[in-house]
Amino acid sequence: MNRILLAAALVLAAGSLQAADAPAVPKPDCQAPHVPGAAMRNDDFAMKRFKRDTKRYEDCMKSFVDEHQAIAKAHYDAANAAADEYNKTVKEINEQLKE
């Protein structure tokens, strides 16, 4: 009987987890470079500015990706730790129920 109650509680808990909304994730706030027109592509100053802006954009996007990958890894690790703890606890409960 206890196992049936435990199973029912787990099914209800799993259902509520699936219903949770994913958090809103901000988009990168990186300014894309403006490509110089054909007439300006021979202008050294315009091309230097374009290359500088392109590098700034690349660095900003890389920083955004690195930051969010680190956040995702932390959440992934936390979820795995929770699953491990859950499995350990259920195993202990099942062993106690056998006594």
Distance, CA of 71 to CA of 88 (rounded, Å): 26
| Predicted local confidence at residue 69, as pLDDT | 97
* pLDDT at position 82: 97
Q: What is the pLDDT of residue 40?
A: 93
Strands (E), the chain: none
Instruction: Check residue 13 and give its pLDDT.
Output: 62
User: Mean pLDDT per segment of 10 residues, for the chain of length 99 residues?
Assistant: 55 57 90 94 95 98 98 97 97 93
